[in-house]
Amino acid sequence: MNQGRTSIEVKFPVPWGHIAGKIYGSLKEERVLMVHGILDNAGTFDRLIEHLPQKYQYVNIDLPGHGLSSPMPSGMPLHYFDYVHSILFVLDALKWQTCIYIGHSFGAHIATYFSILYPGRLEKIVALDGFLPFLVKDIVPYIRDVYNLNAYTKDSNILYTKDEIMYALQFKRFETLRMEAAEALFKRAVTKVGDLYKFNRDTRLRHVVRPFFTLEQHKEIFKKYTTKTLIIIADSSVRVNILSQIVKTLPLITNKTDLFTVIQVRGNHDVHNNYPEWVAPHICKFLDDNLQSKL
């Protein structure tokens, strides 16, 4: 483990503002982009990165509308492929032709589509308790809800104490975070207003952003998937059964048996932040190409 690794703050210009992030390490040929899940921020990887090899340069971003990054343009709902495209803005700003990608949940979802739309840009993907986005079961009411913009703003200006923020970061989410893991998110999660805080969250994220595709359309698109991928599944995650079913079908969809390595670890959906030492060894082996597929 590497104690006390330091980072520098960066802002990458985009047409609607900036994408914020932090860079660990000097410029190297071996580079890793790290992307968090919905309603989290770059702090989700602070604890994990202490366990990862120093030979890489790591860039850890806040997705648009998260942390210290500008939200997408106002007045319209959020669209899945705008988030996919935001990764291209970051890579181009960094002048990275290729990199390794580590993503958690939604961050892993958008990596899969990015690698199909921009083949060759991602050398490998580490997908932490996420891969394909979940399907929209009933498309018409889903679209209607997404376009109900008035519903997004009802508590956007509420201020909270730090204790209330910490409680929300730990417990008002799909699965519980340890105190240390919540602290890692806190700095980028809020803006201080007097003695209180407001969340740095785009309120449109109340609706999890998904592509409007049927199962058959997903399958057709993923026939073009060619990126070597490590999928880490948390055994206590609420998504464990769905994710396990998805990964079993991947060789059939892609007609490739050597792309996917699947590892199951103890922990919940946020195990990479709660117990980074449980997932780091698998990531380190995968980065060094020493991990054999267990599909």
Whether residue 203 contacts residue 156, with contact meaning beta carbons closer than 8 Å, is answered with yes
Burial class (CB in 10 A: 0-12, 13-18, 19+), 241: exposed
- Decide: 187 and 79 in contact? Cβ < 8 Å: no
Instruction: Please write the tens of the pLDDT for every residue from 123-155.
Output: 999 999 988 777 777 888 888 888 887 766 665
**Is residue 70 flagged as an active site residue?**
no
Residue-level pLDDT at 28 = 78
Domain spans in the chain, listed from the N-terminal domain onward: 7-137+208-287
CA distances from 78 to 75, 84, 137, 187, 243 (A): 10, 12, 18, 25, 24
Q: Which residues of the chain have pLDDT under 70?
A: 1-3, 151-156, 252, 290-295
| The pLDDT of residue 154 | 61
Angle between helices 179-189 and 162-171 (to 10 degrees): 120
- Burial of 100-121, coded b for 16+ CB within 10 Å and e otherwise, reads bbbbbbbbbbbbbbbbbeeeeb
Catalytic residue among 69, 70, 105, 115: 105
Task: Supply the pLDDT for residue 227.
Answer: 94
User: What would the two tokens of residue 1 be?
Assistant: 């483990």
Structural fold of domain 7-137+208-287: Rossmann fold (3.40.50)
